[in-house]
């Protein structure tokens, strides 16, 4: 009799665990899709590397990495677009969206390379869209802008339209960048003064984050109207040439070159690119 009770209790516990796991899976919804891609890229999800492909779904806590010379564009459920240049790495730390309230709460962590964000329209004042780097935080107010992690010590931010609030990661200072202005944020310092970049520099950064092989809009699948899912990720850096994943592999195979290899640098700050 006692054995039977134990068996019933174990059965109920297993059923509860199964239903709970199923509920969590049901709650986890994609927040975007890869709509354009050139070259090679990967998506790291729950410690596993997945080769990126057209129409691949993007979830909160995913890490997206592009190889050298590759590009990738993600269309999110709020109609915002995030494009990555070659040899870039970004983590979708949080993405919440409520369509009826036009409310969005999105946080990305760009640890390497270049990202260009395009937000279709402004949302409510309490909405949040920001991209963090090792040295800066770019908070968006409905705009089109580029963030470039030049090195672990230097970030460059360029506003193509609208406004971006730029803060250093330590909270020393802040400034609002307007259209056609840029700023550089050095580790341990407040954001640098706004300046007007040369047209050649603007064209180069736009070209390095523009993907040509895009899926026609009429062929895109319908995405959910609202998602209230968020994710967090703890990044473990193994050394200067890669980042660890849960299965013990590194992103180096995708990045395709050492992280500390020299990058093209703004002429006025060559010492910060090493």
Please state, in angstroms and rounded to a whole number, the distance separating the CA atoms of residues 113 and 93.
17
Any domain includes 165 = yes
Q: How many helices (H) and strands (E) does the chain have?
A: 3, 19
pLDDT of 98: 87
Any domain includes 247 = yes
- Per the structure, the count of domains in the chain is 2
Same domain flag for 6 and 50: no
Any domain includes 273 = no
| Through-space distance between the first and last CA atoms of the chain, rounded to whole angstroms | 73
Any domain includes 270 = no
Same domain flag for 8 and 97: no
pLDDT band for position 230 (cuts 50, 70, 90): very low
Q: Name the least confident of 69-73, 152-156, 237-241, 266-270.
A: 237-241
pLDDT band for position 15 (cuts 50, 70, 90): very low
Residue 246 or 191, more confident: 191
Residue 226 dihedral angles phi and psi, to the nearest 5°: -150, 140
Please state, in angstroms and rounded to a whole number, the distance separating the CA atoms of residues 108 and 130.
6
pLDDT band for position 246 (cuts 50, 70, 90): very low
Write the CB contacts of 115 (distance below 8 Å, at least 6 apart in sequence): 82, 83, 84, 85, 88, 90, 108, 131, 146, 147, 209
Any domain includes 46 = yes
Distances (CA, A) of 148 to 8, 12, 51, 79, 183: 58, 53, 24, 22, 11
Same domain flag for 209 and 232: yes
H or E element at residue 81: strand 81-84
Please state, in angstroms and rounded to a whole number, the distance separating the CA atoms of residues 32 and 96.
12
Please state, in angstroms and rounded to a whole number, the distance separating the CA atoms of residues 19 and 100.
30
pLDDT of 262: 36
Same domain flag for 202 and 178: yes
Same domain flag for 12 and 145: no
Domain range for 8 is: 1-30
Report yes or no: 265 and 273 within 8 Å, Cβ to Cβ: yes
């Amino acid at each position: 009799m006692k054995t039977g009770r134990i068996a019933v209790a174990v059965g109920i516990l297993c059923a509860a665990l199964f239903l709970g796991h199923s509920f969590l899976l049901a709650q986890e919804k994609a927040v975007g899709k890869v709509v354009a891609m050139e070259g090679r890229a990967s998506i790291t999800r729950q410690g596993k590397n997945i080769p990126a492909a057209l129409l691949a779904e993007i979830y909160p806590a995913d890490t997206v990495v592009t190889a050298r010379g590759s590009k990738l564009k993600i269309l999110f459920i709020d109609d915002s677009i995030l494009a990555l240049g070659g040899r870039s790495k970004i983590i979708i730390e949080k993405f919440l969206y409520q369509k009826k309230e036009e409310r969005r709460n999105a946080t990305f962590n760009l640890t390497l390379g270049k990202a260009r964000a395009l937000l279709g329209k402004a949302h409510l004042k309490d909405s949040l869209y920001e991209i963090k780097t090792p040295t800066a935080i770019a908070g968006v107010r409905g705009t089109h802008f580029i963030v470039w992690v030049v090195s672990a010590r230097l970030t460059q931010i360029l506003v193509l339209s609208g406004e971006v609030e730029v803060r250093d990661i330590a909270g020393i200072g802040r400034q609002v960048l307007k259209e056609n202005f840029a700023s550089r944020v050095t580790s341990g310092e407040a954001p640098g003064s706004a300046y007007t970049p040369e047209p050649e520099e603007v064209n180069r950064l736009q070209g390095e984050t523009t993907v040509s092989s895009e899926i026609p809009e009429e062929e895109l699948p319908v995405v959910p109207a609202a998602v209230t899912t968020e994710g967090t990720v703890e990044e473990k850096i193994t050394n200067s040439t890669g980042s660890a994943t849960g299965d013990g592999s590194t992103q180096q195979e995708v990045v395709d070159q050492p992280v500390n290899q020299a990058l093209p640098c703004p002429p006025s700050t060559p010492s910060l690119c090493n």
